[in-house]
Amino acid sequence: MVGARPTLLARLRAAATDRESLRSWTVIANDGIIATAGILEGFAGAGATNRTLLTAATVATVAGMVGVGGAEWVEASTERDAHLEAGEAAARELALRPHEKLAELVTYYEEKGLTPALARDVAEALMAHDPVDAQLESEHGILEVTTRAATIRAGIGAAIAYGLGAAVPLLITLATPARLETRVIFTAVIVSLAFTSVIGAYTGQTDLRRTLARNLVIGVATMAVSYLVGRVVF
């Protein structure tokens, strides 16, 4: 249908192509991999049965998805509230002091390097088009007000990313005998972290070796400490 609004799934797919969203979701997927693997290594160190390990992996995955998804939704919703409040404040100030706000906008563009004449032309054009947006950008650095749909996408996207990461150790628990599980999980987590490190380095435009080293150190340390805690406590 022409003019139809895109579905939430379509928006999620579009967000997944955005570098910043993909980088953020890669970090969350790493959390899912490391946290779930750490829990399993701890239980394995304590001599847990396959049934117990599967229960722990499932609960850790579900709880992590709900917790991370909810946290991302809350964060995005808080950002939206701040944007809306800033917009309302800008609208009130424009109604009371339109000429002063125009002068401030002219000064803003002059400080960015435009000539006084060009800065005034730009400021006047922006104020004529959408004065509130112009004020939000110049005073708060807000280029786009977060929408309610964006807050939902943030929560769902984070939950899915965490679940995909946690699925690595969870599926291994389903397919691997308990006597081999510790070593198989360790190997699979290392491979998974290497894969997500490549994505994270590409989307974040950071050095691959440093990104890989950091992720592997955290992953290995988490699993080793969790396994030792399981051995010592039980």
Q: Domain coordinates of the chain in residue numbers?
A: 8-66+164-233
User: Rounded CA gap, 70 and 166, in Å?
Assistant: 17
Q: What is the pLDDT of residue 5?
A: 47
Q: What is the pLDDT of residue 3?
A: 42
Q: What is the pLDDT of residue 178?
A: 65
Collect all residues with Cβ–Cβ distance below 8 Å to 135 and sequence separation of at least 6: 90, 93, 94, 101, 105
Collect all residues with Cβ–Cβ distance below 8 Å to 82 and sequence separation of at least 6: none
Mind listing the pLDDT tens digit of every residue in the chain (234 residues)? 334 445 544 554 555 556 677 788 888 999 999 999 999 889 888 888 888 888 998 999 999 999 999 999 999 999 999 999 999 999 999 999 999 999 999 999 999 999 999 999 999 999 999 999 999 999 898 888 899 999 999 999 999 999 999 998 888 888 877 667 778 888 888 888 888 888 888 877 888 889 889 999 999 999 999 989 988 887
Q: Which helix (H) or strand (E) holds 8?
A: helix 8-16
Q: What is the pLDDT of residue 197?
A: 87
pTM across the whole model: 0.79
Structure-block tokens of residue 4: 């139809």
> Which residue, chain included where needed, has tokens 């291994």?
172
Structure-block tokens of residue 19: 């570098």
- Other beta carbons within 10 angstroms of residue 51's beta carbon come to 9
Q: What is the pLDDT of residue 4?
A: 44
